[in-house]
Amino acid sequence: MVLYQSVMITIIMAERKRWSKQSRTILDIIYNNEESLTASSIYDLARETHPNISLGTVYRNLRDLREAGLIRETTSGGVSVYFKHPFHNAHLECEVCHSVIPVDLMLDIGDIHRRTGHTIKRWDLKLIGTCEECERRCT
């Protein structure tokens, strides 16, 4: 939770966007669900705390959050579904056999922004080296 909040703050600072209670609610709904959600199910859940929220507001916030890289969108059965951004994703690549292994890696985006002033919008991290098997074969 803390990680995406610091990312969100970074984005607000960068784009001078207002972090509304509604976008915070939508982000919480998405991040508290392991499953992907449709806009209408997000709308139903958001109405529990914001009875006056409109479906248009939900769509607008989903678009902003997606553009900010905080959530991802894909289609399931012809319907758009939304899920949390896999912030922890990185890949190990072997330069000998070119195998790719996903690994969990947490980066503190807020801290990186504070230290460098760089606004981070997305990442694609590959750690290149030699896998266990190739290492054994080479030595």
Interface residue with Zn ion, options 96, 103, 125, 127 (CB under 5 A): 96
How many Å apart are CA 29 and CA 32, to the nearest integer?
5
Q: In a 3-state reduction of DSSP, which class is residue 84? A: strand
Q: Which of 79, 97, 101, 103 binds Zn ion (CB under 5 A)?
A: 97
Residue closer to Zn ion, measured from CB, 81 or 94: 94
Q: Which of the ranges 12-20, 26-34, 95-103, 113-121 carries the binding residues for Zn ion, by CB under 5 A?
A: 95-103
Q: Residue 131 is which amino acid?
A: C
**Total residues at the site for Zn ion (CB under 5 A)?**
5
Cβ at position 135, least distance to Zn ion in Å: 8
Q: How distant, in Å, are the alpha carbons of 6, 14, 62, 69, 86 from that of 109?
A: 7, 13, 21, 12, 13
